[in-house]
């Protein structure tokens, strides 16, 4: 249960990241004259394909780990690591000054408010925290080991990440889009 719940959380993080960064969320309709502004278009085909792909990937992941006589730790680790690295790479693309993607709805590619750098800070912090796991040492005072330190460090990082997500969602470009 521990591993499957964790994989779901990581997969969902990647899922919403793709929706957010490639603007797959429901867009307001362009025809301003005929429909009220908050009337949302049905989710695009790309989003449906992406949702289906994620669901299939998760089911395949669980089936593989359950049907195998022994739990495949190496595969499980690789699965989570690839999802995590992809998630981080996407947010780095969003964060770094080179404008490869349009970051915000109804804004040019060059639009880059100062808080976007926090996504890169998050990636650095998360990578640093995960690197703690590599220094596997005997626990101090029989209590704290590297794994415990990793859990300790992820709690404040999560709060930092939520602050970033909220700030990203409150950017005026979202309001302009809805207006």
Partner 1 sequence: MMASKARIILSAALVGVTLASSGDRSPIFQICVDSCSTNRCRTQPVVLPLALRLTRWSCTDDCRYTCMHEVTSRDVERGAMVQQYYGKWPFSRFAGMQEPASVAFSVLNLWSYAQGARRVQKRVPSNHPMKVHYLVWSCISINAWFWSSVFHTRGKSHLNI
Binders in 15-44 for partner 1, by CB under 8 A: 15-16, 19-20, 25-27, 38, 40
Q: How far is the CB of 78 from partner 1 (least distance, A)?
A: 18
Please choose, out of 84-92, 108-116, 123-131, 159-167, the segment that lies near partner 1 by the rule CB under 8 A. Answer: 159-167
Binders in 67-96 for partner 1, by CB under 8 A: 71
Please choose, out of 50-58, 91-99, 114-122, 167-175, the segment that lies near partner 1 by the rule CB under 8 A. Answer: 167-175
Q: Please name the helix (run of DSSP H) or strand (run of DSSP E) that holds residue 144, with its range, or none.
A: none
Q: In this complex, which beta carbon is closest to partner 1, that of residue 67 or of residue 100?
A: 67
**85 contacts: CB under 8 Å, gap ≥ 6:** none
Distances (CA, A) of 109 to 21, 93, 104, 171, 178: 12, 12, 8, 15, 19
148 contributes a contact to partner 1 by CB under 8 A: yes
**173 contacts: CB under 8 Å, gap ≥ 6:** 104, 105, 106, 107, 111
């Amino acid at each position: 249960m521990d591993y499957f719940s964790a994989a779901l959380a990581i997969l969902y993080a990647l899922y919403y990241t793709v929706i957010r960064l490639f603007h797959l969320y429901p867009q307001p309709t362009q025809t301003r004259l005929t429909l009220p502004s908050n009337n949302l278009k049905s989710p695009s085909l790309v989003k449906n394909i992406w949702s289906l792909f994620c669901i299939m990937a998760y089911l395949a992941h669980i089936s593989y780990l359950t049907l195998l006589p022994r739990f495949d730790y190496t595969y499980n680790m690789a699965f989570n690591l690839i999802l995590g690295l992809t998630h981080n790479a996407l947010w780095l693309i969003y964060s770094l000054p080179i404008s490869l993607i349009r970051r915000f709805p109804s804004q040019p590619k060059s639009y880059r408010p100062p808080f976007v750098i926090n996504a890169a800070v998050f990636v650095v912090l998360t990578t640093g925290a995960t690197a703690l796991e590599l220094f596997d040492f005997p626990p101090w005072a029989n209590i704290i080991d590297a794994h415990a330190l990793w859990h300790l460090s992820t709690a404040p990082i999560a709060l930092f990440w939520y602050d970033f997500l909220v700030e990203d969602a409150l950017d005026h470009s979202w309001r302009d889009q809805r207006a």
